[in-house]
Structure 1
Amino acid sequence: MGVDYYNILKVNRNATEEDLKKSYKRLAMRWHPDKNPDLKKREAEAKFKQISEAYDVLSDPQKRQIYDTYGEEALKDNIPPPPSGVSTHYRYHPRDADDIFAEFFGGSDGIGGGRSRAFGESFSKHFHSDSAGQPHRKIPPVEKNLPTSLEELYSGSKRKMKISRTVIDAYSKPTTVEEILIIDIKPGWKKGTKITFPKKGNQDPGTIAGDLIFLVDEKPHAVYTRDGNDLLVNQKISLLDALTGKTLNLTTLDGRHLTIPVINIVKPGDEMVIENEGMPISKEPGKKGNLRIKFDVKFPSKLTAEQKSDLRRALGRS
C-alpha cells in the first residue's frame, strides 16, 4: 500500500471523522515548522506536510475509499477503476497543508480550500496565546553557577553538563527530560560571564520554556590571583635576597616554567611586571595581560653584634 496514512495520523482503520480531526490537531500543533525552531527546518516541514496529506486523504470519503482499496500510489496516479460509489470523473487533487491548518485554527478566507490570508497571525495566536487570547508568558530564566578553574579560563575548555528539566509533551502533560549540554569555555572569560541556552529551562502548561543561564565563577587558585586581565602572585623574599638578588621559578597556568632573575634591590612593597604573561584577553585574540609579582621582604627578627658590625661595614657605615 505504500505510505500508511493511518499510522502517520496515529489512528486505527475504523477511525471516525472526529478521531481524525482530534489526531490531526494534536500532531499539526506539535510538528508545525514554526513551532520547531530547534529542529532542522526541512525535517519539521516534511513531517507537517505528511500529517496534512494523511488527514486530507482519510477525511475525504472518495479518497479514503480508493486508498483503502487500491493503495496510495494508485490513488495519486488515478490508476484503478473506480470502486462502487466513486465517480468515474474523480481525479486526485491534494490540498495545501497551510489551507488545512488554517481551517482548524483560523485565518482562511471562508471559501473551501482557499488559502490563508493571515496564516502567520493565526499561527502566532494559537502557539503563543492561551485559550483566552492572552500571550503565553515565558518562564523566568534559571541561573546556575559554573565553578571554573583559572587553568580552564586561561586555556579554554569544553564542559559537558547533564541537566534535568520539566517540559510539556505533545499531550500537554508535564514530563521530565534529561539532556547533555556542551559549554565551550573561551580563553579569557571572566567571573560573571553568562552562557545562555535559550528555552532549556523548565516549562509549565500554557507557557514558553525559560532560558537556562550558567554564570562563570572563578575557583580560588593556590598561587595566582586574577585582577582583570592581569595575574598577581605574592613572593616572599629574604632581606639578603632582596639586597643581593635571586632567581624566581614559576609554573604558568598552561604548564610552562618561567625563570625570572631578580637583579635590582627589592624594597618592601615593590612589584615586578612581566608583560604578556597574564590572562588571555577574550576580545583581543593573541593578547594577554601582565604577570605582576608583589614582593614581601622578610626582615630578620634579631641580629648579633657581629652581624650588625658586618652590615655597617658592608653598607659603608662606620
Structure 2
Amino acid sequence: MGKDYYKILGVSKDCTDDDLKKAYKKAALKHHPDRNKDKGEEAHKKFQEVGEAFEVLSDKNKRAVYDNYGEEGLKGGAGGPPRGAGGMGGMGGMPGMGGFPGGGGASFSFSPSDPNDIFASIFGAMGGSSGMGGMPGMGGMGGMGGMPGGFGGMGGSSPFGGGGMDFDMGGGPSSSSSAAPEKKDFERPLPVSLEDLYKGAKKKLKIGRRTLSGRQEENILEVDVKPGWKAGTKVRYAGKGNELPSGASQDVVFIIEEKSHDRYTRDGDNLKVKMPLPLADALDPPAAGTKRQLSTLDGRSIALPLPTPMPGRTTIDNGRTTRVAGEGMPISKTPGRKGDLIVEWTVEVPQRLTEQQRKAVRAALAG
C-alpha cells in the first residue's frame, strides 16, 4: 500500500496551499535530522517523507495524479490505474509525469527531490537549483550542505540556532520558467543579548552570496546595535544579497531578536528584576534606609532601598515592588532617556531549620 501523503502532513484532502505550507513547516521542523540526531536513519526517513508529501501535494498536476493513482501510479510502479480512475486518460503529457497511454496503464517518472532543497526554499533560501522537478517556485538552496554547514551555525540563522556569525544565502538565481517571483530581501534573525541591547554593540557578520555567473562571494557586514533597540528592529543592507535575473541584487535584512536573560526581563522601555528578601527581614524589617546592592546590565552597582511594610502592618509582604526611575532600558528614539527599573522583592523561605529553630519559630508565632 502506498504512502498517505495527506496523513504524513496531517491535512485533509481539500486542504489549501496555505494549509499545506503551514503543515509542512511544522512537520519539517519537528522531524529535521538536526533536531533528532539521536534517531539517525529514522529521522532522515521521516524528513524525506515530509518533503516528498509536500512536493507532491503542493503541485496541482502531481496532486491530481496522486489522488487518482496513488503513490505507485505517481512513481511508475503501478500496472494500471486504480478503480474509478478511468476518466484520467485525457491528462497525458503532464510535465515530468510521463503520460496515460490510451487512457490505460500509467507510466510516470516522478522521483522525490532532496528534502534539504525543499526545506531551504520554504525557510527563506533565495533562488536555487532547477532540479526540483515540476514543483512551482521550489528552487533549492545550493551550498546548503544539509543546512548546518551552509549557515555556519549562526544563532537564529537556521530555525534551530547555533553559535557562529556566518550566513550563506545559498543557491543562485533559478533559470526555471516556473520559479517563484524574485525575492527582494534576504531576511535572517539576529539574536542579541539584553546587555548588548542595553549598552549597544557592534556585530561583524560574514555573508555568503551568489552572482549570476554562479560565483560565491563573501562580504563582512557590521551591524551597529544601538542602545534601546527592541525585538523586531530591522537593519537593511541594500544590494548585499544574491544577484537576481533582473540584474539587481537582493537587500540583506537582519531582524533583531532579544535573547533571554537569566535575571532581567524587559517590559517595553522598563526593566524588571527579582530581588531576594530574607524571611527574617520580611518579618522584622530592618531600620529605614537599609539598602541592598544590585548589579546592572552595564556592570554598575546600585543601592536599592528595602521596601517598607504597607500601612497598618509591621511585616513586608512577598511581592512588594520598588520602582527606580531612569534605571530601565535606554529609549532609542530619545537619546539620554531611560525607562524605569521595577524591582520585585521575593521573600526567601528557609529550606531547612534545626530543631531549636523550629521550636523558636513556633513559639514566636503560636497563637
The whole-number CA distance in structure 2 between the counterparts of 1:147 and 1:237 is 33
Deviation at 1:206, TM superposition (A): 3.0
- Among 152, 157, 174, the alignment partner of 2:196 is 152
The whole-number CA distance in structure 2 between the counterparts of 1:291 and 1:279 is 8
When residues 193 and 200 of structure 1 are mapped into structure 2, their CA distance, relative to the original with a 3 A threshold, is same
Q: 2:252 — aligned with what?
A: 212
The 5-angstrom pairing of residues 1-318 of structure 1 reads: 138-168=182-212, 173-243=213-283, 244-245=285-286, 247-265=291-309, 266-299=316-349, 304-311=358-365
SS in 1 for 2:266: strand
* 1:287 partner amino acid: R
Moved more, 176-185 or 237-246: 237-246
Deviation at 1:271, TM superposition (A): 1.2
Q: Which runs of 5+ in 1 are unaligned?
A: 1-136, 313-317
* 1:183 partner amino acid: V
Deviation at 1:138, TM superposition (A): 4.9
* 1:257 partner amino acid: S
* 1:294 partner amino acid: E
The whole-number CA distance in structure 2 between the counterparts of 1:299 and 1:223 is 20
Q: 2:76 — aligned with what?
A: none
**How does the TM-score come out when normalised to structure 2?**
0.44
Q: Is the 8 A contact 2:188 2:254 kept in 1?
A: yes
Q: Is the 8 A contact 1:139 1:208 kept in 2?
A: no
Bigger relative CO (Cα 8 Å, ≥ 6 apart): 1
The whole-number CA distance in structure 2 between the counterparts of 1:238 and 1:257 is 20
* 1:310 partner amino acid: A
Larger Rg: 1
Q: Which runs of 5+ in 2 are unaligned?
A: 1-180, 310-315
Q: Is the 8 A contact 2:244 2:250 kept in 1?
A: no
When residues 154 and 278 of structure 1 are mapped into structure 2, their CA distance, relative to the original with a 3 A threshold, is same
The whole-number CA distance in structure 2 between the counterparts of 1:222 and 1:274 is 20
Deviation at 1:305, TM superposition (A): 4.5
Q: Is the 8 A contact 2:307 2:321 kept in 1?
A: no
Deviation at 1:174, TM superposition (A): 3.0
Q: Is the 8 A contact 2:182 2:244 kept in 1?
A: no
Percent of residue pairs bearing the same amino acid type: 40
SS in 2 for 1:174: coil
SS in 1 for 2:215: strand
The whole-number CA distance in structure 2 between the counterparts of 1:300 and 1:294 is 19
Q: Is the 8 A contact 1:138 1:207 kept in 2?
A: no
**How does the TM-score come out when normalised to structure 1?**
0.50
The whole-number CA distance in structure 2 between the counterparts of 1:196 and 1:262 is 45
SS in 1 for 2:242: coil
The whole-number CA distance in structure 2 between the counterparts of 1:263 and 1:209 is 58
Deviation at 1:306, TM superposition (A): 3.7
* 1:254 partner amino acid: D
The whole-number CA distance in structure 1 between the counterparts of 2:279 and 2:324 is 22
Deviation at 1:207, TM superposition (A): 4.3
How large is the Cα RMSD of the aligned pairs?
2.2
When residues 277 and 207 of structure 1 are mapped into structure 2, their CA distance, relative to the original with a 3 A threshold, is same
Deviation at 1:307, TM superposition (A): 2.7
Deviation at 1:311, TM superposition (A): 4.4
Deviations, residues 262-300 of structure 1 (Å, cap 9, x unaligned):
151331221111110010000111110111111222345
When residues 304 and 177 of structure 1 are mapped into structure 2, their CA distance, relative to the original with a 3 A threshold, is closer
* 2:236 partner amino acid: T
